[in-house]
Amino acid sequence: MDIIQNWPSERWREGSTHMSGFRVVTRSIRIQTQGDGDVVDVTRPVQERIGEVGLKRGTVTVFVQGSTAALTTVEYEPGLISDLRGLFERIAPSNIPYQHDQRWHDGNGHSHLRASLLGPSLTIPFAEGFMTLGTWQQIVVLDFDNRPRYRELVVQMMGE
């Protein structure tokens, strides 16, 4: 391992000294999912929110409301979507007993565990108007609940 200290072509090397245009802007995205591990690519609507408000650089925090869905990034292709479902089925199987289900009879104890493990929030920098994602790196919502649901994502942008 080497840390390359003075990488000549340091992309995004930007810094502001004037605060003329700093803003906090809140938007939301509403999606409909199939539940049961449905994986929804929201890269484009998030990027569109940044473009619409005209911010050039800062951070965007995407947050999913509810405790049975979560966010991460992945190369969005059908093979990995299937593999992700297999991963979570191994980590938190849907067919073992959960205390949550014994108390509430929702049948979605595994959904809660998967969502809590992955987390409800993702913060991504943007520069020159675009998120600094890799080419094969998409923002996805995983809906682990055991039924189709509407989901609301908060898209909070801070920058200038």
Judged by CB under 8 A, the residue of 33, 47, 144, 145 near its own copies is 33
Q: How far apart are the first and last CA of the chain?
A: 35
- Using the rule CB under 8 A, is 156 a contact of its own copies? yes
Judged by CB under 8 A, the residue of 36, 80, 89, 147 near its own copies is 80
Helix axes 109-118, 78-91, angle to 10 degrees: 110
* 88, 133 contact by CB (below 8 A): no
- Using the rule CB under 8 A, is 103 a contact of its own copies? yes
- Using the rule CB under 8 A, is 50 a contact of its own copies? no
β-sheet bridge partners, residue 24: 158
* Alpha-carbon distances of 33 from 52, 106, 123, 145, 152, rounded to whole Å: 25, 18, 22, 10, 11
- Using the rule CB under 8 A, is 11 a contact of its own copies? yes
- Using the rule CB under 8 A, is 32 a contact of its own copies? yes
- Using the rule CB under 8 A, is 95 a contact of its own copies? no
**Of residues 53-72, those binding its own copies (CB under 8 A):** 53, 57-59, 61, 63, 65-67, 72
Backbone angles phi, psi at 67, to 5 degrees: -115, 20
Residue 159 CB, nearest distance to its own copies (Å)?
Answer: 6
Residue 84 CB, nearest distance to its own copies (Å)?
Answer: 7
